[in-house]
């Protein structure tokens, strides 16, 4: 998966990004897959997409900007192809309508590309994180967890223990209006707790936290969901409704600057930092600085880092790093589908 997008990249590189994206998501989103291939051959649309801010996945940004305008109620023939906007989507080739829409609303799209970020708050990923949290709890002697999510968006994944989980094992883990389903693959059973690990405190850190009481911000969350995946939209809506009654604690700021303050915690707790699809949006230098920060702080106390990331590997990986006295032990826990549809435990 592509990591860093350079806003000064030539259009032929952007074309390759869209082509690769289309190949990658053929099964997951036929709508976006087909559009991606045709965008790759359209210089005007590539030039428009190039307005995405540096470090952002340009394909997701362009599609989300268009989707956001449609969700606002912009009347255009393109809306007829979006199941998220119309109850009876039409078939056929949506590209001519997409092309026309982008030309007509180019200024609005450019404004969104320049001001927004990819902050997909995919709650389906909680089904991937649950066994990882339990692994940390077990390694710490089942101390209460201090959870710090880097790149938390609206913080919906901080509320993972308010959801229920169906892994196809014949039993349901938890009780909630929101049931997350995840297929287990491979021969190794992940650790699935009868009761979720105890959480002492939780906080989300993001450059621009999304306030779930802000209608425009919530619409952008919806816009980031692929329109031909209604099950994702439905669970996002349910998670938002659950969170609005008791919103998570969120802090604005850069992780490198603000993490040290958040890492200070009572000694009888286990501090676990986690992030999903965040490191692909920053440079290798910043990634190194992030892990060096955790290693340095681990001279004061043990730290755990759960990374659900997709950088240079065939599929996303869940990796646990345990920091003790400046040393780090890295364990590949699992490989998975990006939105939580399946999990293959490896640890």
Extract the tokens encoding 129: 């994180």
Same domain, 140 and 275: yes
Query: Is the residue at 5 inside a domain?
Result: no
Extract the tokens encoding 160: 């993972």
Query: Is the residue at 92 inside a domain?
Result: yes
pLDDT at 4: 43
When divided into structural domains, the chain yields a total of 2
| Contact of 222 with 167, CB cutoff 8 Å | no
Same domain, 150 and 109: no
Residue 15 has pLDDT above 50, yes or no: yes
DSSP 178: -
Same domain, 22 and 169: no
Extract the tokens encoding 80: 């007829």
Task: Among 88-102, 154-168, 252-266, name the one with the lowest average pLDDT.
Answer: 252-266
- Structural domain for 109, as ranges: 11-115
| Contact of 235 with 165, CB cutoff 8 Å | no
Please tell me whether residue 332 adopts helix, strand or coil conformation: strand
Percent helix / strand / coil, the chain, rounded to 5: 40, 20, 40
Same domain, 153 and 28: no
Q: 212-244, pLDDT tens digit by residue?
A: 989 999 999 999 999 999 999 999 999 999 998
Q: How many helices (H) and strands (E) does the chain have?
A: 11, 12
Neighbours of 297 (CB within 10 A): 18
Share of the chain above pLDDT 90, in %: 90
Rounded to two decimals, the pTM is 0.88
Task: Among 42-46, 52-56, 267-271, name the one with the lowest average pLDDT.
Answer: 52-56
For residue 203, how far is the Cα from the chain centroid? 16
The CA–CA distances, whole Å, from 125 to 132, 160, 315 equal 11, 9, 14
pLDDT at 9: 61
Residue closest to 177 by CA, chosen among 162, 199, 160: 162
Same domain, 207 and 298: yes
Enumerate residues 6+ apart whose C-beta is below 8 A from 299: 325, 326
How open is the CA angle 93-97-102, to the nearest 5 degrees?
130
- The domain boundary, picked from 88, 115, 142, lies at 115
| Contact of 161 with 196, CB cutoff 8 Å | yes
pLDDT at 322: 98
- The domain boundary, picked from 115, 137, 158, lies at 115
Handedness of CA 155, 274, 167, 136 (dihedral sign): negative
What CATH number corresponds to the domain at position 162?
A: 3.40.50
- The domain boundary, picked from 67, 86, 115, lies at 115
For 330, counting Cβ atoms within 10 Å of its Cβ (0-12 exposed, 13-18 middle, 19+ buried), the class is exposed
Same domain, 29 and 163: no
d(CA 328, CA 307): 14
Same domain, 156 and 69: no
The CA–CA distances, whole Å, from 89 to 28, 29, 68, 263 equal 17, 14, 17, 48
Please tell me whether residue 149 adopts helix, strand or coil conformation: strand
Q: 63-100, pLDDT tens digit by residue?
A: 999 999 999 999 999 999 999 999 999 999 999 999 99
pLDDT at 317: 98
Same domain, 99 and 199: no
């Amino acid at each position: 998966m592509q990591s860093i997008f350079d806003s000064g990249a030539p259009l032929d590189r952007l074309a390759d990004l869209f082509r690769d994206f289309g190949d990658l998501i053929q099964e997951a989103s036929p709508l976006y897959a087909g559009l991606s291939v045709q965008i790759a051959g359209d210089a005007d649309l590539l030039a428009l997409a190039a307005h995405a801010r540096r470090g952002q996945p340009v394909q997701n940004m362009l599609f989300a900007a268009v989707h956001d305008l449609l969700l606002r109620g912009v009347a255009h023939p393109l809306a007829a192809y979006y199941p998220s906007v119309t109850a009876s989507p039409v078939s056929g080739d949506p590209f001519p309508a997409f092309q026309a829409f982008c030309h007509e609303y180019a200024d609005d799209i450019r404004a969104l590309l320049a001001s927004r970020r990819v902050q997909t708050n995919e709650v389906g990923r909680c089904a991937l994180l649950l066994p990882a949290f339990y692994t940390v709890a077990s390694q710490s002697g089942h101390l209460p967890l201090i959870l710090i999510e880097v790149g938390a968006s609206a913080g919906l994944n901080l509320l993972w223990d308010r959801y229920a989980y169906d892994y196809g094992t014949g039993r349901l883990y938890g009780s909630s209006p929101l049931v997350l389903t995840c297929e287990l693959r491979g021969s190794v059973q992940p650790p699935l707790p009868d009761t979720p690990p105890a959480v002492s405190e939780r906080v989300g850190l993001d450059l621009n936290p999304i306030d779930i009481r802000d209608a425009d911000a919530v619409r952008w969350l919806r816009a980031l969901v692929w329109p031909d995946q209604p099950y994702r939209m439905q669970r996002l809506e349910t998670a938002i409704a659950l969170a609005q009654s008791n919103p998570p604690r969120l802090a604005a700021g850069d992780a490198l600057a603000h993490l040290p303050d958040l890492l200070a915690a009572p000694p009888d707790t286990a501090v676990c930092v986690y992030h999903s699809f965040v490191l692909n949006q920053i440079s290798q230098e910043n990634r190194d600085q992030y892990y060096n920060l955790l290693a340095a702080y681990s001279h004061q106390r043990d730290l755990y880092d759960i990374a659900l990331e997709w950088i240079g590997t065939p599929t996303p990986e869940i990796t646990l790093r345990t920091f003790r006295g400046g040393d780090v032990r890295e364990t590949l826990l699992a490989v998975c589908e990006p939105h939580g549809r399946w999990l293959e435990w490896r640890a």
